[in-house]
């Protein structure tokens, strides 16, 4: 199963980029994985309107959603899962024969209704609020952790 972690916009923080890349590299050992950063939404407004930003980002996201069987939006209002629950869910998707699952990290204003309507699930990374930039390495690490749990490798300690 292809797993894609898609993030709106490019990060300007070298440490976030490097932290994410550590897990992207590790994930290649477990199968088809891609980390994709989209172009930034360009608006001609000095004061950004959240709805306009969401709409511009939705147009960018739509270009990447064509072959997705299961779409998960990482959203602070979504359902939180433990690492073991996440690994179990990943196994269920693989058993169902899904070809492509995608996790999407939105921008600072969240997702437009058009993208929310396409989602199969909404997941939270926990009750704390993190910047959309910081979620990149956290999400990549959790996908990696799920794979190590499923393989019975010693990375995850209970």
Model pLDDT for residues 133-154, shown as the tens digit of each residue? 999 999 999 999 999 999 999 9
At what angle are helices 83-96 and 135-151 packed, to 10 degrees? 70
The per-residue pLDDT string of the chain (158 residues; one tens digit each, 9 = 90 and over) reads: 999 999 999 998 999 999 999 999 999 999 999 999 998 887 766 567 889 899 999 999 999 998 899 999 999 889 999 999 999 999 999 999 999 999 999 998 999 999 999 999 999 999 888 888 999 999 999 999 999 999 999 998 76
- Give pLDDT, residue 108: 87
d(CA 39, CA 32): 23
Sign of CA dihedral 128, 71, 60, 51: negative
**Strand order from edge to edge, sheet including 100-105:** 33-37, 2-7, 100-105, 70-80, 121-124
What class does CATH assign to 2-151? alpha beta
Strand partners, 36: 6
What are the extents of the domains in the chain?
A: 2-151
**Chain centre to alpha carbon of residue 80:** 14
* Average pLDDT over all residues of the chain: 93
Beta carbons within 10 angstroms of residue 108's beta carbon: 14
């Amino acid at each position: 199963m292809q797993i894609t972690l898609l993030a709106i916009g490019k990060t300007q923080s070298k440490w976030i980029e490097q932290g994410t890349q550590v897990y992207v590299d590790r994930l290649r050992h477990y199968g088809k994985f891609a980390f994709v950063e989209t172009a930034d939404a360009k608006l001609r407004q000095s004061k950004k309107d959240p709805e306009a930003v969401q709409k511009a980002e939705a147009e960018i996201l739509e270009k990447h959603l064509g072959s997705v069987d299961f779409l998960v939006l990482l959203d602070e209002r979504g359902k939180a899962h433990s690492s073991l629950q996440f690994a179990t869910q990943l196994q269920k998707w693989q058993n169902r024969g899904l070809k492509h699952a995608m996790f999407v990290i939105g921008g600072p204003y969240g997702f437009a209704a058009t993208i929310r309507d396409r989602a199969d699930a909404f997941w939270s990374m926990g009750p704390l609020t993190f910047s959309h930039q910081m979620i990149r390495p956290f999400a990549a690490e959790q996908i990696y952790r799920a794979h190590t749990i499923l393989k019975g490798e010693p990375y995850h300690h209970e």
